[in-house]
Amino acid sequence: MPGYELWGEEEKKHLNDVIESGILMRYNFESARNNHWKAKEFEQAIQKRMHVSHAQLTSSGTSALLTALNAAGVGAGDEVILPTFTFVASFEAVLSVGAIPVLVDIDDTLTLDPKAVEKAISSRTKVIMPVHMCGAMADISALKELAKKNKLLLIEDACQAFGGTYRGKYLGTIGDLGCFSFDFVKTVTCGEGGAVVTNKDEYYVHADQYTDHGHDHIGNNRGAENHPYLGLNYRISELHAAVGLAQFEKLDQILSIQRKNKKVLKDALREVEGVNYRRVPDEAGDNASFLSIFLPSQELAKKVSLELSTKGIGNAYWYDNNWHYIRKWDHLKLLKSLAPLYKEHKELLPNYANADYSQSDEIISKTVTIPISLLWNDEELAKKAEIINSAVSSILTKK
């Protein structure tokens, strides 16, 4: 699953380029950097491969989300529709710009249910934010049509699906803006890093400026640059960009291994009665970093998860997970922030604690997800497939 599993000489080579120059910052110091511009190279590589006009690297996937929202002018009182199953960074970013996270149910894609989205659209809605969870895409055609029909922005959180595609287009490049994460356990890692991509020149200019304290980056004298807008420091370092550049060159290899390994595990469960799978709108575009299975009931899903863990098969039972599903987001439900929220902001927030997410509960409580490793050899893979088949079969035959 994570790119760090394929760490090697390529990363060391790019890192050494930076270390030997001593220039760790992505901007300026032209005469001392030996013509090494790792952040620029990485951005250009993303643009070329993903057929997108602009890429702006950031310090994390979270800062990428914050940058995208700011670049598009999303702020005080604007509603952003996002799913109940995501990573906490999605709603954290929305709250941090003064906007309102409107959480709605998922469907059998494990991502936003377009019907739930349509019901949630109000006069305050400004953004639909699909989150492409666990390597595969949301029902992006339906969501894009909803955005177009209602004149809303579509911002893709593709942090968990880097390299995935939908009908030939890379996830993250289909909406108005897209966000990626390159943290340590993502498909491609920088150690810490992220990116915003867009085909809109205005959004790119805003993203470029916002991530560097509002610098306009015009001219070659950093101290003389103007600041058209307020910004923050979400810059990526050259060291992190160097790692990401090396990792990005391995993307085809990573995706190929994941898809092969996932198919073997999935095939091992095909004949097991009672096992179903998430719906993937474009199977060919799945980046295959996870295998998610649906079990007949919550009770059986918990038993399967425990049995797999006992047998040495890592897995996630999201219904009890603290980071990814709303059931355990008490800090959001109770609005526990280090600093107080504005009264007006707080009054606009939904009552998350008492909202009805029974459709999401029904789906997530029956879901078990197995991460796909890049390090399994054929023998290990076959053994894991056998263990998974045996563990799941033993639970389901006892039901």
Q: Is 186 a catalytic residue?
A: yes
Cα 175 to its chain centre, rounded Å, is 14
- What DSSP string describes 202-268? HHHHHHHHHTBTT----SS-GGG---SS---B-PPPHHHHHHHHHHHTTHHHHHHHHHHHHHHHHHH
Please report the sign of the dihedral spanned by the C-alpha atoms of residue 262, residue 264, residue 270, residue 274. Answer: negative
CA dihedral 227, 231, 233, 237 (to 10 degrees): -60
Task: Show Cβ contacts of residue 279 under 8 Å, excluding neighbours closer than 6 positions.
Answer: 107, 108, 109
Q: Which of 186, 250, 262, 366 is the catalytic position?
A: 186
* DSSP conformational letter for 131: B
3-state secondary structure of 299: helix
* DSSP conformational letter for 322: T
Rounded to a whole number of angstroms, the distance between the first and last alpha carbons of the chain is 32
198 membership: H or E segment, kind and range: strand 194-198
Give the residue numbers marked as catalytic.
Answer: 186
